[in-house]
């Protein structure tokens, strides 16, 4: 089993993934605050998690329509499972490992600010994908997985041959990103097919985020201000 490890682009040497670092620190701080709030008897997952039945509204003769301005679409992206005794911290650690493995190269390509906006947009749209599918669910959706899946989808298109360090048994090896990404998205799709609304993992949000990343990265590369490092301009395989 491949376990991704933190990575940075091989060049330029001066590059530091500021946005990735900011997101990791923010998630860790929020996790610590979640633990404190839980000690005070408050579950932030219930307060600030994205609950599909509250986000999506149903009207006569219309399909379920989501409230695009619901604040939990953003707040839920920074919350994680805090059931420490049940291994909840693995939720945070796993997400941060994947972000630190795939985020820096992408951030170097499009710039820190655009990367941060891209990350948040992927996370919000991934949450909406899940909410629209399971619009009757009262279970709060939390975690950065949808946003990180978007980063992985963008990485798949932009730089599938970029090498990612990972831990395999007792060895640290470097493999092309596609070697990690193809099995990962395949597993997500299989679980979406066989899962149900009560599943503890929001597989549909993972697939939605990955798909959003695939579709949007070209737009982020071509518009707005130019990337900081022109050497790493993204050349999508399709437009």
Q: Where are the domains of the chain?
A: 2-232
pLDDT at 71: 94
How far apart are the C-alpha atoms of 116 and 26, rounded to whole Å?
12
pLDDT at 128: 94
pLDDT at 127: 96
Radius of gyration of the chain (CA): 18
Give, in order, the Cα–Cα distances in Å from 6 to each of 42, 94, 145, 157.
33, 11, 16, 20
What CATH number is given for 2-232 in this structure? Answer: 1.20.1540.10
Give, in order, the Cα–Cα distances in Å from 83 to each of 26, 150, 216, 228.
19, 26, 34, 40
How far apart are the C-alpha atoms of 170 and 35, rounded to whole Å?
33
pLDDT at 54: 92
How far apart are the C-alpha atoms of 157 and 173, rounded to whole Å?
22
Number of other residues whose CB lies within 10 A of the CB of residue 139: 18
> If you ran DSSP here, which 8-state letter would residue 209 be given?
H
pLDDT at 235: 42
pLDDT at 222: 60
Digitized pLDDT (tens) for each residue of the chain, 239 residues in all:
678 888 766 555 557 899 999 999 999 999 999 999 998 999 999 999 999 999 988 776 777 788 888 999 999 999 999 886 566 788 899 999 999 999 999 998 899 999 999 999 999 999 999 999 888 889 999 999 999 999 999 999 988 888 888 888 778 888 888 889 999 999 999 988 887 555 678 899 999 999 999 999 988 876 554 444 444 444 433 33
């Amino acid at each position: 089993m491949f376990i991704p490890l933190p990575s940075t682009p091989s060049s330029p040497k001066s590059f530091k993934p500021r946005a990735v670092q900011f997101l990791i620190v923010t998630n860790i701080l929020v996790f610590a605050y979640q633990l404190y709030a839980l000690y005070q008897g408050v579950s932030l997952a219930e307060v600030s998690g994205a609950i599909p039945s509250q986000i999506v509204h149903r009207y006569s003769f219309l399909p379920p329509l989501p409230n695009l301005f619901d604040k939990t679409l953003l707040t839920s992206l920074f919350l994680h499972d805090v059931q420490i005794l049940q291994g909840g911290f693995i939720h945070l650690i796993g997400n941060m490992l994947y972000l630190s493995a795939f985020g820096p190269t992408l951030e170097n390509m499009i710039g820190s600010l655009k990367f941060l906006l891209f990350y948040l947009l992927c996370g919000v749209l991934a949450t909406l994908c899940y909410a629209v599918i399971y619009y009757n669910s009262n279970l709060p959706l939390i975690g950065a997985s949808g946003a990180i899946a978007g980063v992985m989808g963008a990485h798949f298109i932009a730089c599938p041959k970029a090498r990612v360090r990972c831990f395999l048994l007792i060895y640290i090896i470097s493999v092309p990103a596609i070697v990690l990404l193809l099995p990962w998205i395949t597993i997500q799709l299989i679980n979406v097919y066989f899962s149900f609304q009560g599943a503890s993992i929001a597989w549909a949000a993972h697939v939605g985020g990955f798909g959003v990343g695939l579709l949007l990265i070209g737009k982020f590369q071509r518009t707005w201000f130019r990337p900081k490092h022109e050497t790493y301009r993204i050349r999508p395989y399709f437009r």
